[in-house]
Structure 1
Amino acid sequence: MANVTSLKAWQSLLTRTEQAQQTPIKALFAQDEARFQKYSLQAQNILLDYSKNPVDDATLADLLALVKEVGLDNWRDRMFHGDRINATENRAVLHTALRNRSNTPVFLDGVNVMDAVNRELARIKNFVNAVRKGRWRGYSGKRITDVVNIGIGGSDLGPRMVTQALKPYADDRIRVHFVSNVDGVEIANTLRPLNPERVLFVVASKTFTTSETMTNAQTARNWLMSSAFDERAVAKHFVAVSSNEAAVKAFGIRPENSFQMWDWVGGRFSLWSAIGLPIALQLGFKQFEELLSGAHEMDLHFRDMPFERNAPVLLALMTLWNSTFLGRHSQVILPYDWPLQRFAAYLQQAEMESNGKSVDRVGERVPYTTGAVIWGQLGIDGQHAFYQYLHQSNTVVPADFIGSIESSTPVRGHHEKLMANFFAQTEALMNGISAEEVARELAGQGLSEQEIERLLPHKVHQGNRPTNTLLLKRLDPRTLGALIALYEHKIFVLGVIWNICSFDQWGVELGKTLAARILPELQQAQNEGRHDGSTENLIRYFKQQREKLKS
């Protein structure tokens, strides 16, 4: 593909940026009474309103022309068909096959991967039922009551987010815990209240060599041995999600208790696979299938709907316009739904690890910023933390507001107050409040002209802050599956437009390599002097102070 910046639609969009920055979003509503109807759509159980963005009909037409010029339809078809679009690793990208509920064949190198997917789903179902119904028991014959997932990155963030989000649908038969950090405080705090006779560990690592995961897994193994005093207990308390059969067996886990990972599924897109074992164990397999079904329905929407009515495409285009063209390189995720408290952290990895790149697919540096800084937290908590920055700082931060029409745990009088804030914030961010409005308000409170003049500049809100609103009917497994898939496809669309590979993560590797080199130095008396002056002296200081603390 030619450099995207030379495409006709890209050049046309560049000419529109000045006008977009000078035209308030609320003026666009004044110009078009039907703006909401034109700039919103429903996909599955999700209403997407993108009307509060600085986009008019001509700009949207150029954005839609751009996705056609970059060949999004071809890239989308290639992904669904199993082509090796992850070029740097020569891999297909088939997380959609994991939730392919229609079971249509998906071929990779002439082999229908659905056969393997369905076999693994059947194994997951049998295992989950055995644990939840008490047929799988620990070394002392007691049933399992707690599951500890040991993983990191995609092996942790996705399952951790989903189990938190869907707690209202759990029956508490199995309590799920997560350990990801190599800081010993986390695993110590997690294991301290648990009974080793009733704990099942899920060790999730594709290679079964990930340093943080295997350190925690060995600590968990030692903890179990301090109670069981029998190596055979490992087989009754540990299962693996990995592709390294030899390493799994050497750890003491039986081959039949190891679940498959495939190289055509990236970690941050893997919760639909056996990586989702904690989800199925907490909710039961039927609810896990509902999660898969919701994602599959969004896959079909993304695959089949025209771009102008395609939710992932339109969500991606709003980010593209705000970030790449208008220079707003930060995006905040604001769920007004308490179970989604970890959704921003999940999206942070999904988007920043996917699209935080500076070279295109052939290794040439790109002349534009790819990816946005993704951050956020629950909206109500954020209102009392960082919304001041969103409303009145000089930095414009586009925001995604996510809420539900019906609470998954209704408590009288609460949900209406929550949603009143939800709607009020997007309105306030767009409209702001002018100096004239502030002056009238203060005068109505009986303040003198001198007091009004003093307070007025502090109370003015410029407004014109773009937002997307995603309104769910209810946060249930099916709707959550659709919501996650919506953002997955948004990430893919942006990667296609920016001409980058969204499915590798080479930037993660360098720090790991250096850490492996430094670890022996921390364990030896002398440094080897292979570092810069700062790192060398930091290591020396750390070792010196540690020795003093020991003495």
Structure 2
Amino acid sequence: MQPRTSLPSWKKLVTHAQDMKEQHMSELFTQNSQRFEQFSIKLAPFLLDYSKNLISNDTMSMLFDLAKECDVEQWREKMFSGQRINSTEDRAVLHTALRSRSSKPVMLDGKNVKEDVQRSLNHMKDFSEKVRQGHWKGYSGKRITDVVNIGVGGSNLGPQMVTEALKQYSDNSVNVHYVSNVDGTQIANVLRPLNPEKVLFIISSKTFTTTETMTNAKTAMKWLVSSSFDQSAIAKHFIAVSSNKKNATEFGIAPENIFELWDWVGGRFSLWSAIGLPIAIDLGFERFIELLEGADEIDQHFCETPLEQNAPVILALLSLWNCTFLGAQSQAILPYDQPLHMLSAYLQQAEMESNGKSVNWQGESIDYSTVPSIWGELGINGQHAFYQYLHQSNNIVPADFIGSVESVTPVQGHHQTLMANFFAQTQALMQGVDEQQVRAGLKAKGRTPEYIDKVAPHKVHKGNRPTNTILMKRISPRSIGSLIALYEHKIFTQGILLQICSFDQWGVELGKGLANNIEVELSENKISDNHDSSTKGLMTFFQESILKQS
């Protein structure tokens, strides 16, 4: 297979990037009054403005040529049709089938997987309604008032991010909590105020072997049994979302309370499956379906829209342009709506776990940058923390600004102030302010020449910092579904452009395997000589400190 760097469009972009580095975005806006119209897309869920990137018509033309040379459209078809594009694990990638609202079958190994999806949705609907309406009782006959979801990574981040984002849509008939950290502090803090008679635990683990999740699950089980004095109470208070029914059943969970997962659903793309059961319980099943509908709307846009107007494709191409060709090493995700406070962490996992790789599909080392490190925070908080770095550091950090036209919690005067900052920041990052402007401004304020000479260089902002703006009409289940799907397809397209396997995560497996071995050594107080001197020294210090305390 031809290396990406040998493609004609890639070579043109390398040369073009050197020319564009000499340009300034403010000049590009001055030269073209139609720039916003040319470089923005209006969809039903949101407006995407990408005009504040260091791009020209030629840039985008070359990027679209690259997408075509990389066969993005053909790979898109392979994913949606159930071909095994997860090559290292020989699996299909069909999270889109989980939210498809059409009757068109999706075939895998001669079977229509949408039949399994519908069966799972029916199970979710029936169960979530029983819990919400108080028909599901605990061991003492009391209704469930609290649900604790125990998972980690994709089994936790997705549902938690969505329920936080859509908190205003919850009727609070059931309180939903999340435990992911194996640090006992988290589960202790969550369980402390709860009544064991009224708690339902959801154990979300594809394999039902994940160390962190199973450690927390066992602690929760002991907590329940110590209250009920009855091992059989587990069946009333524990359900599982897993593909390993055997392990879940041996844990004590009734077979009818095990929700199905499939190997064609990756963890970080799984909130659309029964992993999203906490969402359905918190918001109601109808809201969960609206979430799926929003994602399906973007699926259709991604499949049916030419590359030149395709929002996920454009975001992927811009990421490639900013990172691989212009040299940016990180990207900020900056939501300005308080409900989206977990979005940066969610997208951090989705993109970095998917495309943070250094070999191509053939397992050969690649010699170009892949994806940037993803980080971020709520915009207003960031403005008083790290925006200094965004504006004046020598490192250029592209950023996605995400906001809404309407607030889900209108408080007079607040949203207008919020959005004034939202619009101002992308303008400031693009335009900057040069020394001549700084000096003129200080002079107009009556500052002395000596003061101006001293301070002016410190107030210069070079600008030319790329941003994308995503402006939703309002946060809702449907718009959140669309937003997540937008980034999912961006990530998929990135992987194709970079020739990277986006749907495995071997980098996660290595550390987990070593941790399992080390845990045995710590528990048996037998530290192996096979460790490097640093690791052995740290483990020895840890063990000796514990012995001294005891």
Instruction: Quickly name the TM-score band, shorter chain normalised.
Output: over 0.9
1:466-477 paired onto structure 2 within 5 Å: 466-477=466-477
Partner of 2:545: 545
Partner of 1:130: 130
Superposition deviation, residue 410 in structure 1: 0.8
Give the Cα–Cα distance (whole angstroms) in 2 for the partners of residues 486 and 528 of structure 1. Answer: 47
Give the letter for the 1:53 counterpart. N
Q: Does 2:271 align with 1:271?
A: yes
Superposition deviation, residue 219 in structure 1: 0.1
Q: C-alpha offsets along residues 338-383 of structure 1, whole Å, 9 cap, x if unaligned? A: 0000000000000000000000111111111111100001000000
Give the Cα–Cα distance (whole angstroms) in 1 for the partners of residues 528 and 312 of structure 2. Answer: 51
Per the alignment, in what secondary structure is the counterpart of residue 446 of structure 2? coil
Q: Is the 8 A contact 1:43 1:298 kept in 2?
A: no
Give the letter for the 2:204 counterpart. A
Give the Cα–Cα distance (whole angstroms) in 2 for the partners of residues 432 and 145 of structure 1. Answer: 52
Q: C-alpha offsets along residues 246-282 of structure 1, whole Å, 9 cap, x if unaligned? A: 1111111100000001000000000000000000000
Give the Cα–Cα distance (whole angstroms) in 1 for the partners of residues 536 and 403 of structure 2. Answer: 49
Per the alignment, in what secondary structure is the counterpart of residue 405 of structure 2? strand
Partner of 2:260: 260
Per the alignment, in what secondary structure is the counterpart of residue 469 of structure 1? strand
Partner of 1:171: 171
Partner of 1:281: 281
Partner of 1:423: 423
Give the Cα–Cα distance (whole angstroms) in 1 for the partners of residues 123 and 374 of structure 2. Answer: 36
Partner of 1:161: 161
Per the alignment, in what secondary structure is the counterpart of residue 147 of structure 1? strand
- What value does the CA root-mean-square deviation take over the aligned residues? 0.7
Give the Cα–Cα distance (whole angstroms) in 2 for the partners of residues 459 and 549 of structure 1. Answer: 54
Give the Cα–Cα distance (whole angstroms) in 2 for the partners of residues 333 and 104 of structure 1. Answer: 35
Give the Cα–Cα distance (whole angstroms) in 2 for the partners of residues 210 and 485 of structure 1. Answer: 26
Identity of aligned residues (%): 60
Moved more, 515-524 or 448-457: 515-524
Q: C-alpha offsets along residues 44-97 of structure 1, whole Å, 9 cap, x if unaligned? A: 311000000000001110000000001001000000000000000000000000
Q: Which runs of 5+ in 1 are unaligned?
A: none
Per the alignment, in what secondary structure is the counterpart of residue 406 of structure 1? coil
Superposition deviation, residue 525 in structure 1: 3.1
Per the alignment, in what secondary structure is the counterpart of residue 93 of structure 1? coil
Give the Cα–Cα distance (whole angstroms) in 1 for the partners of residues 157 and 525 of structure 2. Answer: 37
Superposition deviation, residue 103 in structure 1: 2.8
Partner of 1:104: 104
Moved more, 271-280 or 360-369: 360-369
Superposition deviation, residue 526 in structure 1: 3.2
Equivalent pairs counted in the alignment come to: 550
Give the Cα–Cα distance (whole angstroms) in 1 for the partners of residues 102 and 341 of structure 2. Answer: 31
Q: Is the 8 A contact 1:272 1:292 kept in 2?
A: yes
Partner of 2:139: 139
Give the letter for the 1:449 counterpart. P
1:430-449 paired onto structure 2 within 5 Å: 430-449=430-449
Give the Cα–Cα distance (whole angstroms) in 2 for the partners of residues 81 and 322 of structure 1. Answer: 31
Q: C-alpha offsets along residues 447-506 of structure 1, whole Å, 9 cap, x if unaligned? A: 100000000111111100000000000010000000000000000001001111100001
Partner of 1:381: 381
Q: Is the 8 A contact 1:41 1:309 kept in 2?
A: yes
Give the Cα–Cα distance (whole angstroms) in 1 for the partners of residues 143 and 342 of structure 2. Answer: 30
1:367-378 paired onto structure 2 within 5 Å: 367-378=367-378
Partner of 2:198: 198
Superposition deviation, residue 440 in structure 1: 1.0
Q: C-alpha offsets along residues 33-52 of structure 1, whole Å, 9 cap, x if unaligned? A: 10100000022311000000
Q: C-alpha offsets along residues 168-187 of structure 1, whole Å, 9 cap, x if unaligned? A: 00000011110001000000
Give the Cα–Cα distance (whole angstroms) in 2 for the partners of residues 94 and 43 of structure 1. Answer: 24
Deviating above 2 A after TM superposition, structure 1's stretches of 4 or more consecutive aligned residues are none
Partner of 1:504: 504
Partner of 1:59: 59
Q: Is the 8 A contact 1:44 1:298 kept in 2?
A: no
Superposition deviation, residue 107 in structure 1: 0.4
Partner of 2:244: 244
1:283-322 paired onto structure 2 within 5 Å: 283-322=283-322
Give the letter for the 1:437 counterpart. Q
Give the Cα–Cα distance (whole angstroms) in 2 for the partners of residues 293 and 42 of structure 1. Answer: 18
Partner of 2:221: 221
Superposition deviation, residue 445 in structure 1: 1.4
Normalized against structure 2, the TM-score is what?
A: 0.99
Per the alignment, in what secondary structure is the counterpart of residue 474 of structure 1? coil
Normalized against structure 1, the TM-score is what?
A: 0.99
Superposition deviation, residue 531 in structure 1: 0.1
